[in-house]
Amino acid sequence: MDVVGELLTGSKRALSRAITMVENESSEAAAMMQQLYPRTGKALVIGITGPPGAGKSTLTDKLAKKYRQQGKTVGIVAVDPTSPFSGGAILGDRIRMNELILDEGVFIRSMGTRGSLGGLSCKTADVVAILDAFAKDVIFIETVGVGQSEVDIVKAADTTVVVLVPGLGDDIQAIKAGILEIGDVFVINKADREGAERLNSELEMMLVLNQGDIKWRPPIKKTVASSGNGIDELVVAIDDHIDYLNKSGELHRRRSMRAKNELLSLMEEGIKRYVVKKMSESGQFDSLVASIERREKDPYTIASIILAECLR
Ligand SMILES: Nc1nc2c(ncn2[C@@H]2O[C@H](COP(=O)(O)OP(=O)(O)OP(=O)(O)O)[C@@H](O)[C@H]2O)c(=O)[nH]1
Ligand SMILES: [Mg+2]
């Protein structure tokens, strides 16, 4: 049986292998995704992002247990754009999620960059699709940090939870504006520490300023992930957001936006590769690059010449 056939029988080994194929950009990966794609779209995808050490894994572990109690199966993808490690779970997550690892209804996988940061968000989306086809009900994407690459990664999520902690120095100043826009639910974790109240009111103010005319007002939940305090309330907030996504048509809007972006980025990749290959064959590409470097031509002119040539 091929990997897809095995995957659909529920084999965890096939699941691992399928994910490795995507990670390694195996030549069979595209054909596999083609077969799996019609079986996706059922899972609920929850993104968990925030600064390093904020308690994302601890929180994900607790949330996953709640969904397991509801009888739902869970997939967890821990993405670390700064780590070269991949495959299996990295040590910290193993410790944080050791009980979950023993649970047959849970699948955990860590992904690092392995050098190609650019493709990480596409790969994450593919891994989510594989877990979705594997009939996981809820899929978590945990990603560290709050930079552009993380923002791109959590774009694969339906609901994004942004985890903050008190004591990040100049609290709110440390929070990049970008993450206020992607947060559907905010968590102040380590609420057992000093400064949680202050962070809460600062965040509230920022969210009001940021609000515009949006229909969903992102709630702020305080948690102590290590003890489990506040997790039930967080589950309710996430469920409320999912409810909102469904009723407002926002889920449909987000998913079609995602489909469009995925298609565009694949086409961008393909066109780029095609054009570079075609121009390199004739030896033209290097000389055109050189003419820009010598300031004889500007990149805008060269790009439009190349495009006109290739897309004729
Ligand atoms: N005091 C306190 N400690 C916590 C809380 N939640 C998590 N921790 C601790 O914080 C440390 C980091 O937790 P992780 O869950 O690994 O954090 P993370 O955000 O996943 O970390 P990275 O993936 O490395 O960015 C661990 O030692 C946890 O036990 C909390 O609510 N209060
Ligand atoms: Mg973690």
The DSSP line for the chain is --HHHHHHTT-HHHHHHHHHHHHTT-TTHHHHHHHHGGG-S-SEEEEEEESTTSSHHHHHHHHHHHHHHTT--EEEEEE-TT----SS--HHHHHHTHHHHT-TTEEEEEE--TT-GGGHHHHHHHHHHHHHHTT-SEEEEEEEB-SHHHHHHHTT-SEEEEEE-S-SSSGGGGS-HHHHHH-SEEEE--TTSTTHHHHHHHHHHHHHHH-TT-S----EEE-BTTTTBTHHHHHHHHHHHHHHHHHHSHHHHHHHHHHHHHHHHHHHHHHHHHHHHHHHHTTHHHHHHHHHHTTSS-HHHHHHHHHHHH--
- The pLDDT score that the predictor gives to residue 268 is 87
Ligand 1 mutation target, pool 58, 82, 154, most atoms within 8 A of CB: 58
Topology adopted by domain 39-248:
Rossmann fold (3.40.50)
pLDDT at 294: 96
pLDDT of 134 reads 95
**Ligand 1 atom with least separation from CA of 145:** 25
Name the residue ranges covered by the structural domains of the chain. 39-248, 262-310
Q: Please report the pLDDT score of residue 252 as a whole number.
A: 93
Kindly list the averaged pLDDT for each block of 10 residues, start to end, along the chain of length 312: 88 93 89 94 94 91 96 92 61 67 87 65 90 96 77 86 83 64 93 92 84 82 97 98 96 91 85 86 88 95 88 77
Which amino acids bring their CB within 6 angstroms of ligand 1?
52-58, 92, 96, 144, 189-190, 192-193, 224-226
